[in-house]
Homo-oligomer: A and B are copies of this chain.
Amino acid sequence: MGVASLFRVIEGASVTAPKGFRAGGLHCGLKKTSRNDLGAIVCEVPAVAAAVYTTNVFQAAPLKVTRESLAKGNTLRAVIVNSGNANACTGKQGEEDAYTMRAEAAHVLGVQVDEVAVASTGVIGELLKMDKVTAGIAALPASLAAGGSGSEQFSQAILTTDLVKKEVCVSLMIDDQEVKIAGSAKGSGMIHPNMATMLGFVTTDAKIHPDALQSLLRETTDVTFNMITVDGDTSTNDMLLVMASGLAENRELGPQHPDWESFAAALRHVCEILAQAIARDGEGATRLVEVEVTGAISDLSARTIAKTIVGSSLVKSAVFGADANWGRIIAAVGRAGEPVNPETVDIKLGTIPVLMGSRPIAFDEEEALAYLKGDTVVISVDLQNGKGSATAWGCDLTYDYVRINAAYRT
């Protein structure tokens, strides 16, 4: 990527790396294990904030509360997150509980209630054990730390069936000031019984106009988090939240700023890394699948086709079996509902062409098998029908996916 040179990745750093942010997490008792299940990111100044939410009709209570906080002035001092319970389909009591979480967090942190966002992930349809949540919130301030330990505790606190935490941090220069953008995310699939949530939290010390941040976030989400699929099911709790402390002291970023594109590229990288990490850690997954579609009539069309391929159960099963089954790929292209010239499709698995001009190409099965057994499988589809392109990420469909999701809730 040409843009990569515009920023550098800081290994091992996460949401507490940008100036002004502390984070923490602890076990309050919502998870049956002793793993962290309550966390927070806190900013020492009001951070310009933007968020995107699940499109699911059944939005969970914390999303309503977070929307209200953001509507009040586009700034946040904190986000509080619990795992182990989604607080979704929980009615009036669920809403009251989400408001209580917000109020308690504001109280112990000494900020206004509408400066606090709330997120939840876990079981649908069960009420939060509020005694545990309230006690946990009271203990949260003591767990907050500015360095790696703070972000580590936070990143652990938001996990459900995830096997690994997902963090990233990049740095770039804007107006001769170092600006950092960092993120932490969770998302794996569902289990026991309904943990489907994709949560993402991005911090930056960039100074940025709130409208510019919101529109950039939406644009970036469309090509990153919205391009992953583990099982095609959209949660009731998905949320991606960005907080910008402004402490890097650059001139306020917006589309007119000369470094706007650099900032956008850096934010996109942060979101892309987190999105890929979620796909790679999909329930039961053994490998990351990346689908690159080029030559579509538009980017939007390319996105639809890429997501159809990466979401196909048959393609996903074939990747699990390391089977160079291009027939399933072209069948997915053909059912995506997008304009395609049936005579001009090229397909490559990694660098191995398997289809040219919609006709099979003889290829070395052993070479293909070796490639498909790798950690990451890249499927490239060139439609030769326009200039639209897109990339989508997913994972293979495995016995473990079925095992995890067929498990009784009890």
Interface residues of A (CB under 8 A from B): 55-59, 88-89, 91, 123-126, 189-190, 193-194, 196, 231-236, 311-314, 317-318, 320-328, 330-335, 340, 342, 355, 358-360, 365, 369, 397-399, 401-410
Asked whether, in the complex, the Cβ of A190 is within 8 Å of the Cβ of B402, the reply is: no
* B contact residues around A330 at 8 Å (CB): 58, 89, 124, 236
B89–A327 touching, CB < 8 Å: yes
Contact of A331 among B58, B311, B312, B342 (CB under 8 A): B58
For this complex, 8 residue pairs linking A to B, each with C-beta atoms less than 8 Å apart, are A88-B327, A124-B330, A194-B331, A232-B311, A233-B313, A236-B334, A313-B405, A398-B406
Contact A196 B333 (CB under 8 A): no
Q: In the complex, which residue of chain B has the Cβ closest to the Cβ of A315?
A: B233
How far apart are the CA atoms of A56 and B334 in the complex, in Å?
Answer: 5
Contact between A328 and B56 (Cβ–Cβ < 8 Å)? no
Give this chain's copy count.
Answer: 2
Q: State the Cβ distance, A193 to closest chain B Cβ, in Å.
A: 5
Q: Contacts A91-B359, A124-B327 given: A406-B321 contact, CB under 8 Å?
A: yes
Q: Chain B residues near A408: list those with CB within 8 A.
A: 321-323, 369
* Chain B residues closer than 8 Å to A360, beta-carbon distance: 89, 125-126
Q: Are A331 and B399 in contact (CB under 8 A)?
A: no
Which residue on B lies nearest to A321, using beta carbons?
A: B406
Residues of B within 8 Å of A365, CB to CB, are 410
Cβ contact within 8 Å between B58 and A407: no
Other-chain contact of A317, B125, B236, B406 (Cβ < 8 Å): B406
- Min Cβ gap A64→B in Å is 11
Tell me how far the C-beta of A108 lies from the nearest C-beta in chain B, rounded to whole angstroms: 31
For A325, A401, A407, which residue has the most chain B Cβ atoms within 10 angstroms? A325
- Distance in Å from the Cβ of A68 to the closest Cβ of chain B? 17
Residues of B within 8 A of A233 (CB): 312-314, 328, 331-332, 335
* A405–B57 CB distance below 8 A: no
A321 to chain B, nearest CB (A): 3
> With contacts A89-B360, A314-B405, A398-B406 known, what are 20 further pairs, Cβ within 8 A?
A55-B335, A56-B335, A57-B334, A58-B330, A58-B342, A89-B358, A91-B358, A123-B327, A125-B327, A189-B314, A231-B314, A233-B314, A234-B331, A234-B334, A236-B334, A313-B405, A318-B405, A321-B407, A397-B406, A399-B403
Known: A89-B358, A91-B359. A409 touches B323 (CB 8 A): yes
